[in-house]
Amino acid sequence: MNTRSIVAVALILSSFSAKADTYAEMAQFAQSLCGDIPSGSLTRTNIQGKVQANAAHLAKIISGSGEVSGEKQQEIYQGVPFEKLPDKIPTVSMCKIELIKTLVAAKEKVSGQTVSAPGGVAVGGDVKNSPITVNNPSSQAPGK
């Protein structure tokens, strides 16, 4: 396996590992919020209110940083696409699923990083002609 292939595989695997941690945090966050809303009251408005009340925790999950300023917390909160949530959600489990999907969309918007491996498999090979793509705008220096 050539060096470029090894680097590509390592980059993709580290991205998946970081995403797994983020998904676990999102799941815990969604459970704590959706579990606190009484049955029959699982609405977009109630969920949005709970998320806003926990904006600091939301900002840590979305930004991946332990310390987030109040201004940045508000910016992250405002970037969450709550309009993607259904008006009414019948169960806590559906609430968690919908909230996690919404948080993932917010995370991708903030980070700008996406990883695509058609077929779900990332293996070594010719990186230049690979169907695997990694888009991480924050690591690209201007002029490159």
pLDDT digits (tens, 9 = 90+) for 17-62: 455 677 889 899 999 999 998 888 999 999 999 999 999 999 998 8
- % of the chain at pLDDT higher than 70: 63
* Angstrom distance (rounded) from CA 18 to CA 134: 14
User: Does the residue 132 lie in any domain?
Assistant: no
The answer to whether residue 91 sits within a structural domain is yes
pTM: predicted TM-score of the whole model, two decimal places: 0.64
Per residue in 122-133, pLDDT (tens digit) is: 444 444 555 555
Give a yes or no: residue 90 inside a domain: yes
In this prediction, residue 128 carries a pLDDT of 53
Q: What pLDDT is stored for residue 4 in this prediction?
A: 53
Residue 138 lies in a domain: no
Is there a domain that residue 34 lies in? yes
Q: Which residues pair with 133 in a beta bridge?
A: 116
Residue 27 lies in a domain: yes
Q: Secondary structure of the chain: what % helix, strand, coil (to 5)?
A: 60, 5, 35
Q: Is residue 87 part of a domain?
A: yes
Residue 71 is assigned to a structural domain of this protein: yes
d(CA 114, CA 84): 20
The total of structural domains in the chain comes to 1
Range of the domain at 48: 3-111
